[in-house]
Structure 1
Amino acid sequence: MFKPLALFLGLRYSRARARSGFVSFISVASVLGIALGVMALIMGLSAMNGFEQELRSRVLAVIPHGEVEAVGEPIADWHQAQWQLQKGEGVLAVAPLIRVNGMLEKGNQMKAVQLRAVLPEAETAISDADHYMTGDGLEALKPGENGLILGQQLAKRLGLQLGDAVTLLLPNSDPNLAMKAPLQRRFTLIGLLELGGQLDGMLGFMHLADAQAALGWGDKVQGFSLKVRELMQAQTITFSAANRLPYRLYVRSWMNSQGYLYQDIQMVRTVMYVVMLMVVAVACFNIVSTLVLAVNEKRGDIAILKTMGAGNWQIRLTFMVQGLMNGLAGAIAGAVTGSLLSLYLSDLIALLERLIGHRFLNPDIYFIDFLPSQLHLTDVLLVSAVAVLMSLLATLYPAWRASGLAPARELGR
């Protein structure tokens, strides 16, 4: 059905200069509109891919996939409990944990902190936090030395340097002494956590033995951190593993504390698809206008082609090819430009921030302080294919209108 004549004429019409400058303007506008829409959509999707990747690689590097925590008294026979959890289906690693919430005091400065008391050798099996720490990372934590690793923003607000002493204020665990002065323990800053986001201003690490000594728990722990095989099934896997223990436990996963970030990323991705595809659709409507005007310009040519034996489908395909070339040109230009900008998007935004002296992502609010970007070839191909398909659909009405012209009427004018 697709004749070489239709392809030849369609390509020739797409390259030919229109008699009307207005038609040429609409044609160029349609190509530019499609290119801008495709470029913007690719850049937006790359940014969303980057946010998702940073959520997985940075935030979940220090936030466990799952946690179980004793409801009442701390767990004494935690070695046995750890072994039982390790046998749970889908569980890759388990580490003991004590969560210590308190205040850090340095001179006149006082800041809230969430400390994770861990065993370094066990924590490295479930966490990649070492990659974002200065010095020896978690291995720098030694029992009995009262060392702390704090987020760099938290240390900066307290005016702390490596080697400085800081006071940890803890609430009194005895209910009869709840209104008394808090417990005070002296610690030394031995490392910094540099995630580059919100967690840098609130999170810290200490050795499990130091937390046990500060709280007077002996060899007890509060709960366990888990690393699971299927990240999106973390809640289910953690709950199933916790059922193996004969304790009343709180069960949490990363979805409870950070899941809203993942949901927000997916929602923005969906909204971006809809909005940007509408932009491409509007640009494709210009193809309709271009072809309708082109059909009116070439009514005589169409009539002559029909008298020479050209069929309706050849006429239709001629104008479909002409419109499709606009869509292809716009999609290719947008895909190439969008891909190049996506590869250097983080650097370009960082340069813009330095030029205007303003940071777009405040680390006190967002989980990272820079705009990430990760280009996926599937996104480029999908967006380009949809743009071309929408361009092809936009050619149908003008093409059918062209094939419906009567040669006798047109040549008799």
Structure 2
Amino acid sequence: MFRPLELFVGLRYTRAKRRNQFISFISTVSIVCIAISVTALITVMSVMNGFDNELRTRILGAISHATVSGLPGESVQNWPRAVQIAEANSHVRGAAPYVETQAFLQARRPSGALVRGIEPSEEPKVSDIDKHMVEGSLNDLVPGEWNIVLGRELAMTLGVNVGDKITMAVPEFRATPMGSVPRLRGFRVTGIFELGMQEFDSGLALINMSDAEKLNGLDGPTGIRLRLDDLFNARPVARELADQLGQIYRVETWMDSHANFFSAISMEKKVMFIILSLIILVAVINLISMLMMLVTDKQADIAILRTLGSTPRSIMGMFMVQGVLVGFVGIGLGVSLGSLLSWRLPQIVKWIEHTFHVTFLSPDVYYISELPSQLVARDVGNVALVTFLFSLLATIYPAWRAARTQPAQALRYE
């Protein structure tokens, strides 16, 4: 049977009883510290993934994955053809035209807003606003009835509710005997939505696309919003559509409009991984202490092995086996506990809040009131790999010290 000497002796030292314990106290401390560090790092990375995914979902629920537009302030030329070409792409799951403009809203109090004209029947193909309606429905945006749906915070700023009237002024001037004045139009509030993102809840209003075209003096939509099968594949799809549509169209993705925001989240995640990796490094120091104590305790054994013909490299391998084994056990426990904790973290947090009557993320302060968690296999693998490398490096110096043991000096007083 294949049994290398280094592996056999290393495992024998691990199984050897010391003071009637299966493993020394310092080895147990090393395993526990490594396991706790790995658990903490996996859990924190999962929570950050959860927040990233939650923010990404809420933002993309309002802005779509990609947009096709024409010249600024002008309608898209031959937009039915553009919709047909976009929907023919295998990666496009939905396409819907829209009209978008900045406007000034006046009710009890004034406020600026981004007004988007939509087709209520087509909007669910590209956004999730219909799933976040607090009052009313998008189907109430009937052409010619001049109805409007507001974000919840925007409605609170204006001081209106469903059924109230508001006045909209758009930057489309018309000539009158008194000079150029902006276009004004009254609207009736028929719905309120809440996406959970201040950017949209406080600054977005929806009207029917036909009404938006009349109000802005357009003969068609200003763009086409697209939903893709994979949001991370947006740029290649955008380049492909741009080549098919021609130079009179401009194709942009969510990565272009919110690049800085998601880059900041990605950078924060990387920095957090580096900082928490230092905790693992501190835990691995216990492993160095354990191996140094073992080397000191086994001086006589090392000397005997050297006199029997073991090489310094063989001696190093024996002690590295034990250090790596302790690291493996710690990593295994840490990955198991961290994965389980990350998987059940939202339920655990809810149980703690219910049991001890505390609130970690108050809905009055935070838009994301529940602690999200998303376990990613790649992150777990990176944590395990980094911990293993730290454990491997921690065994080198003690094993090198063991290999430098002089048999004559070690056996002098034995």
Q: Whole-Å Cα distance in 1 between the matches of residues 85 and 68 of structure 2?
A: 13
Closer, same or farther in 2 for the Cα pair 1:102/1:226, shift >3 Å?
Answer: same
* Larger mean Cα displacement after TM superposition, 372-381 or 28-37: 28-37
1:233 Cα shift? Answer: 4.6
Deviations 1:96-130 (A, max 9, x none): 110132233332x3333223211122222233333
Task: Give the aligned length.
Answer: 402
- Cα displacement (A) at 1:194: 3.2
What's the TM-score once normalised by structure 2's chain length? 0.81
CA distance in 1, matches of 2:148, 2:357: 33
- Give 2:83's aligned amino acid: Q
1:89/1:241 contact within 8 Å kept? no
* CA shift for structure 1 position 66: 1.8
Q: 2:343 and 2:93 mapped to 1: Cα distance?
A: 34
Does structure 1 retain, via aligned residues, the 8 Å contact 2:42–2:380? yes
- Select between 378-387 and 353-362 the one with higher mean Cα deviation: 353-362
1:312-331 mapped onto 2 (5 Å cutoff): 312=312, 315-331=315-331
Match of residue 39 from structure 2 = 39
8 Å CA contact retained: 1:51, 1:265: no
Q: How far did 1:311 drift?
A: 6.1
Partner of 1:390: 390
* 1:20-35 pair list within 5 angstroms: 24=25, 27=27, 30-35=30-35
- Name the counterpart of 2:300: 300
Counterpart of 1:340? 340
Q: How many Å apart are 1:306 and its aligned residue?
A: 4.5
Amino acid at match of 2:191: I
2:75 aligns to what?
Answer: 74
Q: How much has 1:87 moved relative to structure 2?
A: 4.8
Q: What amino acid sits opposite 1:225 in the alignment?
A: R
Q: CA deviation at 1:46?
A: 0.8
What are structure 1's unaligned runs of at least 5 residues? none
Q: Distance in 2 between matches of 1:256 and 1:361?
A: 31
User: What's the % identity of the aligned pairs?
Assistant: 31
1:6–1:317 CA contact under 8 A, matched in 2: no
AA partner of residue 208 (structure 1): M
After superposition, residues 137-176 of structure 1 pair within 5 angstroms as 137-161=137-161, 163-174=162-173
Q: Does 1:16 align with 2:18?
A: yes
Call closer, same or farther: CA 1:395–1:80 in 2, change over 3 Å. closer
Letter in 2 for 1:410: A
Q: In the alignment, what sits opposite 2:84? A: 83
TM-score (norm 1): 0.81
- Aligned-residue offset at 1:276: 2.4
Moved more, 201-210 or 173-182: 173-182
Distance 2:357 2:205 in 1: 30
Q: How has the CA–CA distance of structure 1 residues 172 and 194 changed in structure 2, closer, same or farther, with 3 Å as cutoff?
A: closer
Cα deviation, residue 257, structure 1: 2.0
TM superposition shift of 1:77: 4.5
Post-superposition offset of 1:410? 1.4
Decide whether aligned partners of structure 1 residues 393 and 183 sit closer, same or farther in structure 2, where only a CA change above 3 A counts: same
Partner of 1:201: 202
| Residues 1:319 and 1:254: Cα distance change in structure 2 (over 3 Å) | same
Q: 2:37 & 2:131 partners in 1: Cα distance?
A: 38
Q: Structure 1 residues 227-236 or 332-341, which shifts more?
A: 227-236
Aligned mates of 1:383, 1:17 — CA distance in 2 = 34
Against the structure 1 CA distance between its residues 397 and 83, is the aligned structure 2 distance closer, same or farther, given a 3 Å change threshold? same
Deviation readout 1:29-70 (Å, 9 max, x if unpaired): 543442333122212221232234224433212212222333
Contact 1:185 1:214 in 2 (8 A): no
What's the C-alpha RMSD, in Å, of the aligned pairs? 3.7
Contiguous gaps of at least 5 residues in structure 2: none
1:200-237 superposed Cα distances (whole Å, 9 cap, x missing partner): 222232221222243344x5222221234553453454
Amino acid at match of 1:50: G
Query: Which structure would you say has the larger RCO, counting Cα contacts within 8 Å and 6 or more residues apart?
Result: 1
Conserved? CA contact 2:183–2:215, under 8 Å: no
